[in-house]
């Protein structure tokens, strides 16, 4: 049976694990904000730095995994505690992908030689802010095991999807009217899609946080709509 | 200490876990093949079916997770065994995303009302076959703990990236020459990107299989190039 001593040791270990996940999340959030700023400012040095810094997020994911394995092997946590450890691993995996999307945005910056005339780019920073807010809020909900906060994050994915649909339509119209900007516009389309995907991933994390806090699945209506459905119109 | 009896029980449980992962993989592979066939044939019924069937892949991921948690809690596997269980969970997570990409392709089919005149679509089935082969081969390597097979899978990602780059360029040219097909072409671009991403995910699984089989990271050169670099040209 678990003694007070081993419970304390487990809690300390889990706290370290959660701190590593929080550090990963903070880095991914920063990478996202930096990538969109670098895009708008056409800052190639920043773009290189973001790609480089993503390695640290990847390393942190490996650390989370090692820490989790050691924790399971040493402490043999049962039921809810084991679920907490595995949730930390899963959330770390999602954050690693968020970092990849931010890196992907940064990688497109040198390719985009001329985006001055493409108006839809003016909406991207606002979309990125919404996505950044989601990522920040979901990490906060994770740290505080806050189910209501997780629901709010999932609900705000609709705003991000609306942004995506607006940009998608605006870019398509722009491409039809200015066929010479098709290459640049296509890259911007992929960038908007990357932002939309980060929002989806934040929603996935929100669902995990909600489940961990309540033991129930989040209701369907809390989650954002499907941007593909809107693209059809 | 582990007795012969508990080792056998663990091996049976792990075997079941691996069988669930194999079933998931088989379904994702099928969904991918069906989605591209439905796209080329404009088969809307098949598209609906693929989207519906993806739920089963999601359910299987939940089953893998439950099974893994029960296995860890009951058998308290150490070191390599624990790593095997967590690898199965991770691979299941990647396969779930592959299924999502196939579902995503299927969802775009009703949107694509007229793709007859867009020649680059003729390359998509060949690209899909390469991706399908990768998925099949990596599941095979996983089942047989075959490190050399895993390396071959990672190497073949280059072919998929070459396909992607060809389709990317061909679609961009087509859009510039036929601005009225921009909407449809954009959806095809996203479909090609989804296929390319499935190839990336197969490569990720190959890396996990290689690591599990050898205890070493796969050499960098075995992995495919970065399609973004080529898009720049």
Cβ of B215: how many Cβ atoms within 10 Å?
10
- The reply to whether B116-233 shares the fold of B1-110 is yes
Q: Provide the total of helices (H) and of strands (E) in chain A, helices listed first.
A: 7, 0
H or E element in which residue A25 lies: helix A4-41
Q: What is the pLDDT of residue A3?
A: 62
> Are the Cβ atoms of A193 and B190 closer than 8 angstroms?
yes
CATH superfamily of A4-231: Phosphate transport system protein phou homolog 2; domain 2 (1.20.58.220)
Q: What is the pLDDT of residue B228?
A: 58
Percent of chain A with pLDDT over 70: 92
Q: Are A217 and A207 in contact (CB under 8 A)?
A: yes
> Are the Cβ atoms of B86 and A93 closer than 8 angstroms?
no
Q: Could you give the 3-state DSSP secondary structure of residue A109? A: coil
Structure tokens at B92: 């299941």
Q: Which residues of A touch B189 (CB under 8 A)?
A: 186, 189
Q: Where are the domains of chain A?
A: 4-231
Q: What is the dihedral of CA A31, A36, A40, A46, to 10 degrees?
A: 10
Stretch A143-151: mean pLDDT, rounded?
95
**Residue from the list B72, B179, B180 with its beta carbon closest to the beta carbon of A72:** B72
Whole-angstrom distance, CA of residue A195 vs CA of residue B196: 18
B68 pLDDT more than 60: yes
> Mean pLDDT across chain B, nearest whole number?
89
Whole-angstrom distance, CA of residue A111 vs CA of residue B206: 30
B228 in reach of chain A (CB within 8 A): yes
A66 in reach of chain B (CB within 8 A): no
Q: pLDDT band for position A222 (50/70/90)?
A: low
Stretch B101-115: mean pLDDT, rounded?
89
At which residue do the structure tokens 């061909």 appear?
A: B170
A58 in reach of chain B (CB within 8 A): no
B122 in reach of chain A (CB within 8 A): no
B217 in reach of chain A (CB within 8 A): no
> Are the Cβ atoms of B69 and A76 closer than 8 angstroms?
no
Whole-angstrom distance, CA of residue B163 vs CA of residue B230: 11
Pick the CATH number of B1-110 from 3.20.20.120, 3.40.250.10, 3.40.50.2300, 1.20.58.220: 1.20.58.220
Closest CA to A51 of A114, A117, A103, A15: A103
A220 vs A190, more confident: A190
Whole-angstrom distance, CA of residue A44 vs CA of residue B133: 38
Structure tokens at A93: 């995996």
Q: pLDDT band for position A163 (50/70/90)?
A: very high
Length of chain B measured in residues: 233
Q: Is B155 exposed, middle or buried (0-12, 13-18, 19+ CB in 10 A)?
A: middle
Percent of chain A with pLDDT over 90: 72
Q: What is the pLDDT of residue B230?
A: 43
A47-51 own/partner pairs: CB under 8 Å, 24+ apart: A47/A106, A47/A107, A47/A109, A47/A110, A48/A106, A50/A102, A50/A103, A50/A106, A51/A103, A51/A106, A51/A107
Structure tokens at B104: 């995503």
Q: Are B146 and B206 in contact (CB under 8 A)?
A: no
Q: Are A80 and A214 in contact (CB under 8 A)?
A: no
A230 pLDDT more than 50: no
Whole-angstrom distance, CA of residue B65 vs CA of residue B60: 9
**Nearest chain A residue (CA) to B107:** A228
Structure tokens at B101: 């990409």
- Chain-centroid distance, C-alpha A39: 18
Q: What is the pLDDT of residue A228?
A: 58
A146 pLDDT more than 50: yes
Q: Are B135 and B202 in contact (CB under 8 A)?
A: yes
When scoring B105, B110, B179, B220 by the number of chain A Cβ atoms within 10 A, the one with the most, hence best to mutate, is B179
B116-233 topology per CATH = Methane Monooxygenase Hydroxylase; Chain G, domain 1 (1.20.58)
Q: What is the tens place of the pLDDT at every residue in A1-22?
A: 456 767 788 889 999 999 999 9
**Nearest chain B residue (CA) to A85:** B69
Stretch B14-42: mean pLDDT, rounded?
94
Q: Are B86 and A65 in contact (CB under 8 A)?
A: yes
Structure tokens at A185: 């516009």
Q: Which residues of B touch A175 (CB under 8 A)?
A: 175, 179, 182
Terminal alpha carbon distance of chain A: 60
Q: What is the pLDDT of residue B2?
A: 52
A229 pLDDT more than 50: no
Q: What is the tens place of the pLDDT at every residue in A68-84?
A: 989 998 888 887 888 89
Q: What is the pLDDT of residue B229?
A: 43
Cβ of A119: how many Cβ atoms within 10 Å?
11
Whole-angstrom distance, CA of residue B30 vs CA of residue B35: 8
Length of chain A measured in residues: 233
DSSP B23: H
Q: Are B156 and B134 in contact (CB under 8 A)?
A: yes
Q: Is B43 exposed, middle or buried (0-12, 13-18, 19+ CB in 10 A)?
A: middle
Sequence-separated (6 or more) residues with CB below 8 Å from residue B185: B118, B120, B171, B174, B175, B178
């Amino acid at each position: 049976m678990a003694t007070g001593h081993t419970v304390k040791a487990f809690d300390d270990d889990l706290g370290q694990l959660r701190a590593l996940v929080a550090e990963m999340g903070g880095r991914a959030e920063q990478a996202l904000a930096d990538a969109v700023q670098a895009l708008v400012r056409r800052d190639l040095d920043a773009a290189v730095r973001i790609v480089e810094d993503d390695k640290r997020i990847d390393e942190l994911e490996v650390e989370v995994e090692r820490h989790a394995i050691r924790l399971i092997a040493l402490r043999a946590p049962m039921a809810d505690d084991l679920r907490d450890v595995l949730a930390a691993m899963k959330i770390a995996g999602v954050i690693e992908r968020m970092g990849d999307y931010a890196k992907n945005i940064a990688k497109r910056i040198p390719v985009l030689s001329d985006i001055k005339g493409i108006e839809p780019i003016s909406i991207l920073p606002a979309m990125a802010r919404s996505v950044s807010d989601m990522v920040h809020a979901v990490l906060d909900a994770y740290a505080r095991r806050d189910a209501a906060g997780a629901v709010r994050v999932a609900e705000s994915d609709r705003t991000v999807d609306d942004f995506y649909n607006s940009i998608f339509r605006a870019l398509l119209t722009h491409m039809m009217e200015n066929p010479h900007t098709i290459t640049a516009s296509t890259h911007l389309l992929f960038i908007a899609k990357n932002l939309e995907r980060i929002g989806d991933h934040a929603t996935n994390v929100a669902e995990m946080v909600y489940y961990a806090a309540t033991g129930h699945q989040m209701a369907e209506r809390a989650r954002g709509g499907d941007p593909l459905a809107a693209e059809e119109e």
